[in-house]
Amino acid sequence: MAEDPKIGYKVIGTITSVKGNCNAGHRKGDTFEISCHNPAGLCGFFYHDMFPVLMMFQFGGNTPWWDKDELEIGCPDKDNLVTIRLTREKR
C-alpha cells in the first residue's frame, strides 16, 4: 500500500450530521485526517464524489462561497445524508 506523502495542507474531516442510517457506519462526531492519498476509512462513494473538491482544498484552492479554511460537503446518498466538515491547516 502506498504511503501518504503528507503534502499540501493537513485536512481534518469531522462528520457533523447523519440523516437516516449510514450504510458505511459513519456517526456524528467521527474525526479523521483525510487527503488525496488517504481516504481515512470514508465511504468509497462519498470519497469518490468529494475527491475533486478535496484535491483543490488540500492544495490551497478556494471558491467564493467557502470560509477560508473550512467547508462542508454532503454525501451523494440524499436519503441517508452524511455531512462532513473539512478543516485545513498548514503543516
* Selection from 58, 21, 60, 11 nearest residue 43 by Cα: 21
Domain ranges of the chain: 10-89
Q: What's this model's pTM, rounded to 2 decimal places? A: 0.91
69-89 confidence digits (pLDDT tens):
999 999 999 999 999 999 999
The 3-state DSSP class for residue 34 equals strand
DSSP per position, 48-82: HHHHHHHHHHHTT---TTSBTTEEEEE-S-GGG-E
**C-beta of residue 15 within 8 angstroms of C-beta of residue 29:** yes
2-53 confidence digits (pLDDT tens):
788 899 999 999 999 999 999 999 999 999 999 999 999 999 999 999 999 9
